[in-house]
Each structure stands twice: as structure tokens, then as C-alpha cells.
């Protein structure tokens, strides 16, 4: 039997790759499984998912990401700590060494698409040295049909070589690790990290440039789902706030869990797969996602596995807190197969407020929605050092600053226009702490968060009464089916009311300090929200 009979396909010469040994062209999952096992890249778990380790990096290497500074894109890019400029000549030098590194190597190529909308989809090629990264690309992007494969011409290419390292002194990188986007050459190169999330988030990065800039389509770091009547909801939120968790709902069909576009027809997924956080995943609270951890095709990253029984332990965080499952969206039972939905009726902004002062759910005016979109607030619980209990507030514009290439006001303008045109209801949902901050209170139950979201989406909250809380000026519902009424106003569940007031005032102050940078870009009514 020949293991490598999928050697069709051409075009690697166009990238300068001329001397590869074996090239696997868009191999299917089974072939990739065989290669993962033959190359000792991972272990099969007892029900068929494959377990891998990402190595030193178990999350994104945010400080090692650069954008090549070329004349065409230069004026449009929001240069700064997120979008660091990289010299074009140094890119070419580094890339040439990378090409030399690929000589004689087996390579895996996935030709696929990003963007479910036929009008906006981007043909993408992902070239990797590891079979499991190829499976990741196959899971996460949109598959081409056999006919589409025959004519597939990549518009952007990702080359991911975790074992190839930069030389910081020569290349001008910070470390041996790099993720570099080159718009002029339509190329992304990744080296020195095996964290697969870089592959999907670098394509997200370029879509955040191309779609709003070239096509006036809003790109968003959000999940999306559709109700039985086809009513669409989108859920913005930073990492860990519940985009993936809350969008997987038995009664609502999943459109996507992380990245979407919104054009004149409605929303569309950029991806064809999901990437769920699975640390301490509960079968009861997240049954759909739990099932995917046991399916053929799912990649389990940095999950502890008993090497004898091949059973996994989702509670074990010895490799990282950021354990992940990558699976094709078709592993979730209730989905929208086209990846496309109409215009949203509801926009939900998720935050994980570890201070415990934001209400579990609140209705926002369009101005408040703009304010919170530009603020992009969440909080991280304190590290594990003894005695440190104060949470860290994070503000990340558009709920995704690390991936936004244009100025935040560009995305905010597009969102504002769409919210007004389609008469969208906007909600702020706190999936974080209640009854006190981290250490005092406890994290909101997933069942409550789901009940709150469902009541917003099915219209029952809108039909009821609201009260305005004094700190953020948010409208809090007085009742919600399935949720005890006293938790709806966060002040009620703090034993120490004075402590609540002080913590809330302090958070308002942090919002104001952060928002000062956006004042000149927004209407007075938005700047004056807080
Ligand atoms: P990323 O952008 O990194 O993919 P995300 O927004 O998709 O992040 P999730 O994967 O949904 O985040 O992670 C939310 C995590 O918080 C999950 O581990 C979930 O089990 C946990 N969690 C605990 N309580 C809640 C809650 N009330 N609502 C949502 N998630 C909760
Ligand atoms: Mn997610």
C-alpha cells in the first residue's frame, strides 16, 4: 500500500518551495491520523480523538506577532503594540532561510477557504511540517469540494514551521518565535511555536484588514447562532468569556463559535470548525462540547492522557489551563450547515467581570453598546501567588484588539450603522463573578447565564420591567425565568454594600481612563456614557 498517494496538486513553486520530499495535498482526516501516529506527533484516545502537545507555547505568542510594513497597507494599519511593523527586506531574508529549511522535508498542504459567504470567501492554503497542524487547518477552515480543489488558487498562504527558529539579531524579531503577516506577498509565516491557534488567528487578522477595508464588511470576534425562527444572535467577548460555551445551545443552531463577518445579507462564519476551551469541562453544563472530546477527528491540545488506558482527564491542568479541542463544526448536533444567517436581532456583549459588580444581564442603548464595544472590558482573576486576590481589568477594543488591524473606530462605525439599520437589541452579559469579587463571590452558573441569554433572545426580558442601576446606567431586568430575582441586581448579593459601591465606582473610573483614547472618534452621547 502506498501511504502517499495523495500527491496531486501544484503550485508550491510559486511560494519558492522546490525541494520538498513528499507533499501531502489536502489529505483527509484518516490519512492525517495515520501520519500523526507514524510520526509520533500524538496519541489516539480511547474513543477516537487525537491528543497532542503544543510544546513550549500553550497559548498565543502575542508579543511575537508582526506585520510587514509595505507602502500599500501602511497608511491603513493601526500601528502600535499589537500591530508591530516588520521590515520587508528582513522578511525576505527570513523567508529564504525558511525555504531552505523546508528542503527535503515532508510537507502537508491544506487548500481550503475562510468565509462561508460565497461573495467574500478567501481561498487559503496552509502548509505545515506537522500532520496534526494540517488536521487543525482542515478542522478549522472551510473545506473545498473535490471540484473546488481542482481550481483552488490560494489568495493567502500560511506557512507554519514550529521547528524553524528566527535569529533575533539577524531577523529583527524579539525571540526565536515569530508570526509575521505580509499583505504584499499574501503570506503569513509562523516559526518557533507549535500552538495551532496561531494558524486560525493569523487568518482572522488578515480578514480583519481585508473585509472592512476592501469590501466594507464588518469582521467580528464573536460567536453566532440562530433560533428556530431563524432569528440570529451574535456574542462578542474576549477569551474565556463564553462565546463558545453559550453559543452551543440545544435549542439554537450554531453558526460559528469565534469569527464572523456581517455584510448586507447578514452574518457568516469565517470558519468551518470550533476551538473550545475544555479545562474542567462539565458534561452536564456543556453536553454538546463534551461529546466532541470523544469523537474521531477532534484534536485535544495539552490534555492529560493516561498513556496505558488512553483515557483523558479534562480536569488536569498540569500542562496548561488553556487546554483546547479543535473539531469540525459538524461535530456539534445542531448547526446551520451553510455557516450563514440573516441580520442579527440581538447583539450580546459578554464580559467575565471578576470584580462582581456588573449585572448578570443588562439592556444597552445603542450608545452604551458602542461604548462597551470600544471598551472591550473583561477581567482576569489574579494569578496563583499567595495573597493576591485583586482581579486584573482588561480593556481590549472590539473585544479582540490583538486581531484588529485597522483602528477600532472603523469597526465601531460599521457596527453602529448596522445596529441602527436593523434595529438590533443590545445586551451586556456578565458571565463572571456574583456576590462579591473573585475570592468572595462565585462565578455565575452556566445554567443561569444560558437562562438569561435565552430570555433576552426569545423576547421575554423585553416584555418585562427594568430598573436602572446608578453606576453604569444600565437597565437591569426585574425578573428572568430560571434565575433567582435577587441575583439580577449585583448589589443585592454583596453582603457588604459599601464595598460594592466602592468597587463599582473604581471600575467606572477604569472605564473612563481607558475610554479617553476614543473620545475624539465618537459622538458626544457615546463618550458621555460613563
Ligand atoms: P476564546 O476566544 O478563547 O475561544 P470563549 O469566549 O469562546 O474564548 P469559552 O471557551 O466559551 O470562551 O470559555 C468560557 C469558559 O468559562 C468555559 O471553560 C466555561 O466552562 C467557563 N464558564 C464558567 N462559568 C461560565 C458562565 N457562567 N458562562 C460561560 N462560561 C462559563
Ligand atoms: Mn471560543
Would you tell me how many other CB atoms lie within 10 Å of the CB of residue 388?
Answer: 12
- Angle in degrees, CA 443, 449, 454, rounded to 5: 180
**Side-chain-facing half-sphere of 450: CA atoms under 13 Å:** 15
Q: Which atom of ligand 1 is nearest to the CA of 275?
A: 4
The best mutation among 240, 259, 286, 358 to test binding of ligand 1, ranked by most ligand atoms within 8 Å of the C-beta, falls on: 240
Tell me, using a 6 A CB cutoff, whether residue 256 lines ligand 1.
no
Give the integer Cα–Cα distance in Å for 196 and 231.
33
Would you tell me how many other CB atoms lie within 10 Å of the CB of residue 59?
Answer: 16
Give the integer Cα–Cα distance in Å for 424 and 429.
16
What is the CA(247)–ligand 1 centre distance, in A?
10
Q: Please, which residues have CB within 8 angstroms of residue 173's CB and are 6 or more apart in sequence?
A: 64, 66, 94, 166
**Using an 8 Å Cβ cutoff, are 208 and 96 in contact?**
no
Q: End-to-end alpha-carbon separation of the chain, Å?
A: 68
The number of angstroms, rounded, from the C-alpha of 189 to the middle of its chain's C-alpha atoms is 20
What is the CA(350)–ligand 1 centre distance, in A?
10
Tell me, using a 6 A CB cutoff, whether residue 409 lines ligand 1.
no
Q: Which atom of ligand 1 is nearest to the CA of 223?
A: 7
- Angle in degrees, CA 178, 181, 187, rounded to 5: 110
Tell me, using a 6 A CB cutoff, whether residue 400 lines ligand 1.
no
Enumerate helices (H) and strands (E) in the chain, giving the number of each: 14, 30
What is the value of pTM for the model shown? 0.96
* Closest ligand by atom to 246 CA: 1
pLDDT at 436: 85
**Side-chain-facing half-sphere of 148: CA atoms under 13 Å:** 15
Residues, beta carbon < 5 Å, ion ligand 2:
243-244, 258
Residue nearest (by alpha carbon) to ligand 1 atom 15:
240
Residue nearest (by alpha carbon) to ligand 1 atom 26:
446
Give the integer Cα–Cα distance in Å for 295 and 330.
11
pLDDT at 389: 65
pLDDT at 7: 47
Tell me, using a 6 A CB cutoff, whether residue 237 lines ligand 1.
yes
Residue-level pLDDT, tens digit, the chain, 530 residues: 333 444 456 789 889 999 899 999 999 999 999 999 999 999 999 999 999 999 999 999 999 999 999 999 999 999 999 999 999 999 999 999 999 999 999 999 999 999 999 999 999 999 999 999 999 999 999 999 999 998 899 999 999 999 999 999 999 999 999 999 999 999 999 999 999 999 999 999 999 999 999 999 999 999 999 999 999 999 999 999 999 999 999 999 999 999 999 999 999 999 999 999 999 999 999 999 999 999 999 999 999 999 999 999 999 999 999 999 999 999 999 999 999 999 999 999 999 999 999 999 999 999 999 999 999 999 988 665 555 567 899 999 999 999 999 999 999 999 999 999 999 999 999 999 998 888 888 999 999 999 999 999 999 999 999 999 999 999 999 999 999 999 999 999 999 999 999 999 999 999 999 999 999 999 999 999 99
Active site residues: 60, 201, 221, 239, 243-244, 258, 324
SS3 letters across 144-201: CCHHHHHCCCCCEEEEEECCCCCCHHHHCCCCCCEEEEECCCCEEEEECCCCCHHHHH
* Closest ligand by atom to 243 CA: 1
Give the integer Cα–Cα distance in Å for 267 and 219.
9
**Side-chain-facing half-sphere of 288: CA atoms under 13 Å:** 23
pLDDT at 3: 38
Amino acid at each position: 500500500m502506498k501511504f502517499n498517494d495523495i500527491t496531486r496538486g501544484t503550485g508550491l513553486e510559486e511560494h519558492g518551495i522546490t525541494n520538498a520530499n513528499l507533499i501531502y495535498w489536502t489529505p483527509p482526516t484518516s490519512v492525517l491520523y495515520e501520519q500523526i501516529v507514524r510520526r509520533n506527533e500524538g496519541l489516539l484516545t480511547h474513543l477516537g480523538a487525537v491528543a497532542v502537545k503544543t510544546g513550549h507555547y500553550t497559548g498565543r505568542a502575542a508579543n511575537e506577532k508582526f506585520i510587514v510594513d509595505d507602502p500599500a497597507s501602511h497608511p491603513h494599519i493601526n500601528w502600535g503594540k499589537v500591530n508591530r511593523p516588520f521590515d520587508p527586506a528582513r522578511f525576505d531574508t527570513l523567508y529564504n532561510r525558511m525555504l531552505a529549511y523546508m528542503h527535503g522535508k515532508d510537507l502537508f498542504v491544506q487548500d481550503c477557504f475562510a468565509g462561508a459567504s460565497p461573495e467574500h470567501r478567501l481561498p487559503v492554503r496552509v502548509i505545515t511540517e506537522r500532520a496534526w497542524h494540517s488536521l487543525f487547518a482542515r478542522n478549522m477552515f472551510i473545506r473545498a469540494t473535490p471540484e473546488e480543489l481542482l481550481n483552488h488558487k490560494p489568495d493567502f498562504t500560511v506557512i507554519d514551521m514550529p521547528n524553524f527558529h528566527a535569529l533575533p539579531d539577524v531577523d529583527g524579531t524579539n525571540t526565536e518565535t515569530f508570526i509575521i503577516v505580509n499583505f504584499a506577498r499574501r503570506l503569513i509565516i509562523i516559526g518557533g511555536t507549535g500552538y495551532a491557534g496561531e494558524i486560525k488567528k493569523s487568518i482572522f487578522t488578515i480578514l480583519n484588514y481585508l473585509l472592512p477595508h476592501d469590501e466594507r464588511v464588518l469582521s467580528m470576534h464573536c460567536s453566532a447562532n440562530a433560533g428556530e425562527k431563524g432569528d440570529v444572535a451574535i456574542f462578542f467577548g474576549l477569551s474565556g468569556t463564553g462565546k463558545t460555551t453559550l453559543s452551543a445551545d440545544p435549542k439554537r443552531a450554531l453558526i460559528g463559535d469565534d469569527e464572523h463577518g456581517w455584510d448586507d445579507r447578514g452574518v457568516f462564519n469565517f470558519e468551518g470548525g470550533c476551538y473550545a476551551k475544555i479545562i474542567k469541562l462539565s458534561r452536564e453544563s456543556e453536553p454538546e462540547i463534551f461529546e466532541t472530546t470523544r469523537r474521531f477527528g477532534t484534536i485535544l491540545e495539552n490534555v492529560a492522557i493516561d498513556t496505558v488506558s488512553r483515557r483523558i482527564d479534562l480536569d488536569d491542568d498540569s500542562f496548561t489551563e488553556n487546554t483546547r479541542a479543535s473539531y469540525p463544526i459538524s461535530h456539534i448536533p445542531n448547526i446551520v450547515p451553510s455557516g450563514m444567517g440573516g441580520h442579527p436581532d440581538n447583539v450580546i456583549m459578554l464580559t467575565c467581570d471578576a470584580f462582581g459588580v456588573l449585572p448578570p444581564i443588562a439592556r444597552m442603548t445603542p450608545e452604551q453598546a458602542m461604548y462597551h464595544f470600544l471598551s472591550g472590558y473583561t477581567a482576569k482573576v489574579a494569578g496563583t501567588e499567595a495573597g493576591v486576590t485583586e482581579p486584573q481589568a482588561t480593556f481590549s477594543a472590539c473585544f479582540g484588539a490583538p486581531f484588529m488591524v485597522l483602528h477600532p473606530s472603523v469597526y465601531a462605525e460599521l457596527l453602529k450603522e448596522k445596529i441602527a439599520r436593523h434595529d438590533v437589541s443590545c445586551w451586556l452579559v456578565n458571565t463572571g463573578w456574583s456576590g462579591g469579587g473573585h475570592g468572595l463571590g462565585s462565578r455565575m452558573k452556566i445554567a443561569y447565564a444560558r437562562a438569561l441569554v435565552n430570555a433576552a433572545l426569545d423576547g421575554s426580558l423585553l416584555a418585562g420591567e427594568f430598573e436602572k442601576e446608578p453606576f453604569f446606567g444600565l437597565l437591569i431586568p426585574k425578573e428572568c425565568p430560571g434565575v433567582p430575582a435577587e441575583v439580577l441586581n449585583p448589589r443585592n448579593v454583596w453582603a457588604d454594600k459599601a464595598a460594592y459601591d466602592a468597587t463599582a465606582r473604581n471600575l467606572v473610573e477604569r472605564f473612563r481612563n481607558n475610554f479617553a483614547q476614543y473620545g475624539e472618534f465618537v459622538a458626544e452621547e457615546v463618550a458621555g456614557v460613563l
